[in-house]
């Protein structure tokens, strides 16, 4: 496995990789996305840090991680994964792993809180705005939409040019 992976690629399983074959594969990935250290992941999942690093470099791809970190679905999954790991480690009597999983969970919760706060701050941005009536748009919203529409028109023009070129 080599080269940059697209964010939308379906993750493949490398059968030579211990982490790919681990049932905690998804948890490892989401932990890493939220910035858990290799050591934390290794302790929480009881796997080797070097194997995890190799997996993240070769199977997942660093670009992939950076590109998906912002998604709310992933954050929610990380929360669930960390909770599950916490319970599993507690049941297994592994308190080090449990506290590591708890640490990741706290971080995921604080990230979720940060996001909801920042969303509340930006709520006025679209509040009372009617998409069919530009007079109701706030100045930042107007700028945002203008930039977005310009971008769409540019892409359309580029597609038209390509069409003409192959005709």
Q: Which residues bind Zn ion (CB under 5 A)?
A: 14, 17, 19-20, 55, 59
Residue closer to Zn ion (CB basis): 55 or 107: 55
143 vs 12: CA distance, rounded Å? 40
Instruction: Compute the least distance from the CB of residue 130 to Zn ion, in Å.
Output: 49
Instruction: Compute the least distance from the CB of residue 97 to Zn ion, in Å.
Output: 20
- Dihedral in degrees, nearest 10, Cα atoms 158, 163, 166, 167: -140
71 vs 64: CA distance, rounded Å? 12
**Other C-beta atoms lying within 10 Å of the C-beta of residue 28:** 26
Do 19 and 58 contact (CB within 8 A), yes or no? no
Instruction: Compute the least distance from the CB of residue 19 to Zn ion, in Å.
Output: 5
Residue closer to Zn ion (CB basis): 50 or 116: 50
Residue closer to Zn ion (CB basis): 10 or 91: 10
105 vs 1: CA distance, rounded Å? 31
Give how far the C-alpha of residue 27 lies from the chain's centroid of Cα atoms, to the nearest Å.
12
Residue closer to Zn ion (CB basis): 49 or 129: 49
């Amino acid at each position: 496995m080599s080269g940059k992976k697209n964010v939308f690629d379906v993750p493949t399983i490398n059968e030579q990789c211990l982490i790919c074959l681990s049932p905690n594969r998804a948890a490892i990935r989401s932990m890493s996305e939220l910035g858990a250290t290799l050591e934390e992941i290794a302790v929480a999942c009881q796997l080797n840090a070097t194997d995890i690093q190799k997996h993240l470099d070769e199977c997942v791809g660093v670009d992939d991680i950076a590109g998906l970190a912002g998604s709310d679905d992933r954050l929610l999954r990380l929360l669930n994964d960390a909770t599950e790991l916490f319970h599993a480690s507690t049941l297994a009597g592994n308190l080090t792993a449990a506290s590591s999983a708890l640490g990741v969970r706290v971080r995921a919760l604080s990230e979720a809180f940060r996001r909801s706060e920042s969303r509340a701050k930006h709520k006025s941005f679209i509040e009372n705005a009617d998409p069919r009536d530009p007079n109701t748009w706030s100045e930042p919203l107007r700028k945002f939409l203008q930039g977005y529409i310009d971008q769409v028109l540019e892409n359309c023009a580029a597609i038209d040019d390509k069409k003409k070129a192959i005709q």
